[in-house]
């Protein structure tokens, strides 16, 4: 089975990872890999457009800071709108999961 | 200018931010891979591969608006096109581009100025062989050499590689030079004419159009003389339009005929076609110039915004519809009929307030 991400799922995953607190792009990417036990193929080149897109929509905010090795990095954190959007995305995903499950059971 | 700088700064910041983030990501990924035991080179290559190819980066930039199309969108968002300096800058840039594209940029400047740029060129004579269709086809090497020591001519040299040009002495007429050239070479088809006469013929139709427009603009000056700043701006932009237009014409003639003047049927048809296109372009320029000028505030020269329509389109006599626009600072007001407001450029009423 392919480990590639379903279209639009990256937003949900990034929002969920950011619940833990502000993180930079690389940390988000690493966390996604760890949580999926290296199974999910998060396209790292797509991560930043996704982060910018969500920032434009007001779901996340970004600010400059220093990373663990004292390098300048941009840290992303969830906004209130982002918390609400996470719930919407989560519900959408669960509905999709149930629908796919029903199809697989009955077909 | 401020709007252009703001838009450019925003665009550059976006690109720099993406570049910095990718760089940070790549460096961290390389360090982690090296910690797993990979060589520096292999780790770097693998980290680079995980971030995607150059094509991938271009797609990301496009998605974020950091590409050229994104820059144009930013220019529109910052209303660069509505700035008073947009048209003058665009016209100056266009004129410079014409000079860059021209095979003989000096000739373009001389054609527009109506005289040679250097004082010593003012008595210059053009010598060439005229074909049956009146086209100048150049002078042969033998003929060129035989007129080298001709009395009354100095500084004889090749002109546009096939013709010849020389400086005529003050006491000798051009007709006399032509007679001497023909006698010396034995070639009755050789012509000698003042160099600038040819430029005047070529530029004549274009200059006539703009002379007519300049004459018409006298009425414009009389009508709007109380709005001095606005009028000055309008005339300055109009002059730049005329300059760009004349330079375009000169370039078109250069590219079309290599400045070989001909009156045979095919060349005449081509010339008429070129003239018709030119007239169309001048009409378009006047339309753009007037449409932009009409919607500028007489005091701050900012474009008028916030169109508000009053009245009814059904009740033409008692309560006819009019559209009122105002400048972002509140001093310029324009009231238009429905017919005139049909040609209003598309714009959001709030754009000027947000970025202005």
Tell me, what's the ipTM?
A: 0.79
The DSSP symbol for B312 reads B
Residue ranges making up the domain that contains B16:
2-78
Residues of B in contact with A44 (CB under 8 A): 25, 29, 50-52
Residues in chain A whose Cβ is within 8 Å of chain B: 24-26, 29-30, 43-46, 48-49, 52-53, 67, 69, 71-74
Angle of the A44-57 helix axis to the A80-106 helix axis, nearest 10: 120
Whole-number pLDDT of residue B355: 37
The structural domain count of chain B equals: 3
Answer whether A48 sits within 8 Å of B28, measured CB to CB.
no
β-strands B163-168, A72-78 pairing: unpaired
Give backbone dihedrals phi and psi of B127, rounded to 5 degrees, phi first: -125, 125
pLDDT of B252 strictly over 80? yes
Task: Establish if B164 belongs to a structural domain.
Answer: yes
pLDDT of A92 strictly over 80? yes
Question: What distance in Å separates residue B347's CA from the closest CA in chain A?
Answer: 23
Task: Establish if B272 belongs to a structural domain.
Answer: no
Given phi > 0 = left and psi -120 to 50 = alpha, else beta, which region is B306?
left
Partner-chain residue, chosen from A44, A71, A72, that has the shortest CB–CB distance to B50: A44
Q: Which pLDDT band, with edges at 50, 70 and 90, does A78 fall under? A: very high
How many residue pairs bridge chain A and chain B with CB atoms within 8 Å of each other? 48
Nearest CA in chain A to B51: A45
Whole-number pLDDT of residue B92: 94
Three-state DSSP class for residue A4: strand
- Positive or negative, the CA dihedral B10, B55, A12, B70 is positive
pLDDT of B205 strictly over 80? yes
pLDDT of B260 strictly over 60? no
Answer whether B21 sits within 8 Å of A29, measured CB to CB.
no
- Residue entry with tokens 């029903």: A102
Which of A3, A7, A26, A53 is the mutation pick for testing B, counting most B CBs within 10 A?
A26
Helix/strand number for chain A, H first, E second: 4, 3
Which of B19, B57, B60 is the mutation pick for testing A, counting most A CBs within 10 A?
B60
Q: Tell me whether B122 touches chain A (CB under 8 Å).
A: no
Question: Edge-to-edge strand order for the sheet containing A60-66?
Answer: A23-24, A72-78, A60-66
pLDDT of B97 strictly over 90? yes
Whole-number pLDDT of residue A2: 43
pLDDT of B279 strictly over 90? yes
Answer whether A44 sits within 8 Å of B24, measured CB to CB.
no
Q: What percent of chain B has pLDDT over 70?
A: 82
Three-state DSSP class for residue B325: strand
Q: Which pLDDT band, with edges at 50, 70 and 90, does A75 fall under? A: very high
pLDDT tens digits along B208-220: 899 999 998 888 8
Q: Which pLDDT band, with edges at 50, 70 and 90, does A79 fall under? A: very high
Partner-chain residue, chosen from B24, B52, B64, that has the shortest CB–CB distance to A26: B24
Asked if B109 contacts B32 with a C-beta cutoff of 8 angstroms, the reply is: no
pTM of the model: 0.59
Among B152, B179, B195, identify where a domain stops.
Answer: B195
- Cα separation, B195 vs B173, whole angstroms: 13
Q: Which pLDDT band, with edges at 50, 70 and 90, does A3 fall under? A: very low
**CB count in 10 Å sphere of residue B273:** 11
Partner-chain residue, chosen from A29, A45, A71, that has the shortest CB–CB distance to B52: A45
- Cα separation, B60 vs B53, whole angstroms: 11
**CB count in 10 Å sphere of residue B151:** 10
Beta bridge partners of B309: B323
Among B159, B177, B195, identify where a domain stops.
Answer: B195
Among B195, B221, B241, identify where a domain stops.
Answer: B195
Task: Establish if B96 belongs to a structural domain.
Answer: no
Q: Which pLDDT band, with edges at 50, 70 and 90, does B350 fall under? A: very low
Asked if B261 contacts B201 with a C-beta cutoff of 8 angstroms, the reply is: yes
Average pLDDT, stretch B118-145?
Answer: 80
Task: Establish if B58 belongs to a structural domain.
Answer: yes
Whole-number pLDDT of residue A6: 62
pLDDT of B356 strictly over 50? no
Whole-number pLDDT of residue B312: 67
Answer whether A29 sits within 8 Å of B25, measured CB to CB.
yes
Q: Tell me whether B62 touches chain A (CB under 8 Å).
A: no
Nearest CA in chain A to B50: A44
The DSSP symbol for B123 reads G
Residues of A in contact with B17 (CB under 8 A): 74
Q: What CATH code is assigned to A9-106?
A: 1.10.10.10
Whole-number pLDDT of residue A80: 92
Q: Which pLDDT band, with edges at 50, 70 and 90, does B185 fall under? A: confident
**CB count in 10 Å sphere of residue B335:** 12
Residue of higher predicted confidence among B267 and B288 = B288
Answer whether B27 sits within 8 Å of A71, measured CB to CB.
yes
Answer whether B51 sits within 8 Å of A45, measured CB to CB.
yes
Whole-number pLDDT of residue A61: 92
Q: What percent of chain B has pLDDT over 90?
A: 10
Average pLDDT, stretch A41-65?
Answer: 84
Lowest-pLDDT range, B139-143, B313-317, B341-345? B341-345
- Cα separation, A98 vs A104, whole angstroms: 10
Question: What distance in Å separates residue B60's CA from the closest CA in chain A?
Answer: 6
pLDDT of B281 strictly over 90? yes
Nearest CA in chain A to B65: A49
pLDDT of B292 strictly over 70? yes
Q: Would you kindly state where each structural domain of chain A is located, as residue ranges?
A: 9-106
Residues B72 and B128 in one domain: no
Task: Establish if B101 belongs to a structural domain.
Answer: no
């Amino acid at each position: 089975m392919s480990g590639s991400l379903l279209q639009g799922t990256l937003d949900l995953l990034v929002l969920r990872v950011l619940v833990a607190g502000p993180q930079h792009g690389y940390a988000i990417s690493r966390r996604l890999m760890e949580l999926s036990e290296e199974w999910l193929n998060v396209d790292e080149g797509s991560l930043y457009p996704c982060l910018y897109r969500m920032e434009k929509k007001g779901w996340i905010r970004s600010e400059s800071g220093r990373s663990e090795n004292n390098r300048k990095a941009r840290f992303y954190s969830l906004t209130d709108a982002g918390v609400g959007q996470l719930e919407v995305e989560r519900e959408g995903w669960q509905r999709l999961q149930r629908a796919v499950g029903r199809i697989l059971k009955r077909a | 200018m401020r709007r252009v700088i703001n838009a450019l700064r925003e665009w550059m910041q976006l690109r720099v931010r993406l570049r910095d983030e990718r760089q940070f990501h790549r460096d961290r990924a390389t360090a982690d891979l090296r910690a797993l035991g990979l060589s520096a080179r292999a780790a770097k290559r693998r980290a680079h591969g995980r971030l995607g190819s150059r094509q991938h980066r271009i797609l990301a930039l496009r998605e974020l608006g950091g590409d050229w199309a994104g820059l144009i969108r930013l220019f529109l968002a910052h209303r660069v096109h509505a700035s008073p300096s947009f048209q003058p800058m665009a016209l100056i840039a266009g004129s410079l581009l014409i000079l860059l594209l021209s095979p003989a940029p000096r000739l373009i400047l001389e054609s527009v100025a109506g005289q040679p740029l250097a004082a010593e060129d003012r008595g210059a004579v053009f010598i060439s062989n005229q074909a049956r269709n009146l086209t100048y086809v150049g002078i042969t090497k033998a003929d060129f050499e035989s007129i080298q020591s001709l009395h009354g001519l100095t500084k004889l040299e090749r002109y546009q590689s096939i013709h010849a040009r020389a400086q005529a002495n003050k006491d000798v007429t051009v007709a006399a030079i032509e007679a001497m050239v023909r006698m010396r070479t034995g070639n009755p088809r050789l012509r000698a004419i003042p160099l600038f006469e040819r430029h005047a013929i070529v530029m004549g139709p274009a200059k006539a159009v703009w002379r007519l427009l300049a004459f018409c603009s006298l009425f414009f000056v009389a009508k709007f003389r109380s709005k001095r700043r606005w009028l000055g701006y309008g005339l300055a932009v109009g002059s730049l339009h005329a300059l760009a237009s004349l330079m375009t014409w000169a370039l078109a003639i250069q590219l079309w005929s290599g400045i070989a003047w001909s009156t045979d049927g095919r060349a005449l048809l081509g010339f008429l076609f070129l003239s018709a296109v030119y007239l169309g372009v001048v009409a378009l320029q006047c339309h753009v110039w007037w449409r932009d000028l009409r919607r500028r505030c007489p005091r701050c020269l900012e474009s008028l915004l916030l169109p508000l329509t009053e009245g009814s389109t059904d009740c033409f006599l008692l309560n006819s519809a009019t559209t009122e626009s105002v400048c972002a600072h509140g001093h310029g007001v324009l009231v238009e009929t429905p017919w005139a407001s049909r040609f209003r450029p598309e714009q959001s009423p709030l754009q000027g307030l947000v970025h202005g």
